[in-house]
Amino acid sequence: MSEELLRLSKRMSELGLSSRREADEWIAKGWVRVDGVVVSELGTKVYPSQKITVERQAAAEQSKRVTILINKPMGYVSGQAEDGYTPAVALIKPENRWAEDKSPEQFHPTQLRSLVPAGRLDIDSVGLLVLTQDGRVAKHLIGETTDIDKEYLVRVQYTKPGTLPDADLKKLNFGLWMDGKPLKAAKVRWQNEDQLSFTLREGKKRQIRRMCEMVGLHVVGLKRVRIGKVKLGELPTGQWRYLLPEEIF
C-alpha cells in the first residue's frame, strides 16, 4: 500500500511536536527538518515515514509559552468578546494574580498574545478555565482524541413532584442521546441533596444543562472544579495563576 502525503504542519501536530499554527511559524523560520533537510516552504507535504526534527530554538520558544488557570466568574465569556460581554482574558492582569501563586514566572503583557482558551465555559458557568499559548496543551485538552476528564459541581432543582428517580440518575451516567448521537459514559453522583458531581470526557455545547433538562432537573449553578489532574483548588473567583512546570493535566 502506498503512503499518503500529508501537510507537514498537520503531521507535526499529529506527532505532538506542536500545534499547526506553531508548525507553520517554525517552518517559516527554517527550524524544521525533514530527513535532515531544512524545509521552509509552507504547505510542504511529507510521507508519514519521513523523519521530522525541530531545531533547539523551537523547543526553547515553546518552553517560554505560558499556560494560565483562571477561576472564571459569572458574566464573562471564555473566548472572543461577544454581544458586549467581556472575555475572561481581560482578567489576566497583575492585580488579579493570586497572591499564593507559586510560579516563579513574571507577568509580561506579551503573554496575552495568542493566549487561547483550551475548552469553553459558558457565560453563566463559573470555575476552572485554562488559557494557553502552548499548542500542545490546547491539543491535549480539546483535540479530537482527548480523553481528559473534567469535573463539575452542579446545583439543581427537580422540576417534578418528589425526588429524581434512581433510573434517571442512571440515565445521566449513561444512556442519553444528544444531537443524534449517544453521549459517552459520564460519572454523575449526588454530593448533597441539591448538588450533583458530573465527570465528563466530552464537552458538547451546554451539555450538562441539556442533560439535566432531559430528566427534569433545572440547573441553578454550575462550577468546573477539575480538568484532568489539575484542580481549581483554593484559587479565588476572578483571580488567576500560572500552571506550574510539574503540573500535568
On whether both 19 and 126 belong to a single domain, the answer is no
Same domain, 14 and 54: yes
Q: What integer pLDDT is reported at residue 1 of this predicted model?
A: 57
Q: What is the dihedral of CA 70, 147, 123, 102, to 10 degrees?
A: 0
- Determine the pLDDT at residue 147: 83
Q: Average pLDDT in the 38-62 region? A: 89
- Confidence check: pLDDT of 61 > 90: no
**pLDDT value of position 31:** 94
Question: What pLDDT shows up at residue 35?
Answer: 96
Is 73 found in the same domain as 58? no
54 shares its domain with 80: no
- Are residues 11 and 78 located together in one domain of the fold? no
What CATH number corresponds to the domain at position 17? 3.10.290.10
| Cβ pair 122, 70 in contact under 8 A | no
The answer as to whether 134 is a domain residue is yes
Number of compact structural domains in the chain? 3
Asked whether residue 10 carries a pLDDT value surpassing 60, the answer given is yes
Return the pLDDT at 246.
92
Q: What is the DSSP string of the chain?
A: -PPPPEEHHHHHHHTTS--HHHHHHHHHTT-EEETTEE---TT-EE-TTS-EEE-HHHHHHHHT--EEEEEEPTTEESSS-BTTBEEGGGG-SGGGB-TT----PPP-GGGGTT-EESS---TT-EEEEEEES-HHHHHHHHSTT----EEEEEEEEE-SSS---HHHHHHHHTT-EETTEEPPP-EEEEEETTEEEEEES---TTHHHHHHHHTTEEEEEEEEEEETTEE-TTPPTT-EEEPPTT---
Among the ranges given (15-24, 125-134, 176-185), the one the predictor scored with the smallest mean pLDDT: 15-24
Beta strands at 126-132 and 217-227: parallel, antiparallel or unpaired: parallel
**Per-residue pLDDT tens digits for 177-187:** 999 999 999 99
Domain that holds residue 56: 6-63
Domain boundary among 36, 63, 90: 63
What percentage of the chain exceeds 70 in pLDDT? 99
Residue 247 lies in a domain: no
Tell me which of 101, 122, 149, 168 is the catalytic residue. 122
Q: Is residue 1 assigned to a domain?
A: no
Given 63, 88, 106, the domain boundary residue is 63
Q: How confident is the model at residue 113 (pLDDT cuts 50, 70, 90)?
A: confident
Do 127 and 161 belong together in one domain? no
- CATH number of the domain that residue 139 is part of: 3.30.70.580
What pLDDT, in 10s, does the model give residues 152-175? 999 999 999 999 999 999 999 999
Nearest to 206 by CA among 122, 147, 141: 122
Q: What is the number of other CB atoms lying within 10 angstroms of the CB of residue 71?
A: 24
- pLDDT at position 6 is 93
The confidence score (pLDDT) of residue 146 equals 79
Whether residue 155 is found in the same domain as residue 223: yes
122 is an active site residue: yes
CATH (domain of 173): 3.30.70.1560
- Which pLDDT belongs to residue 145? 73
Question: Do both 179 and 122 map to the same domain?
Answer: no
Residue 82 has phi, psi (to 5 degrees) of -145, 145
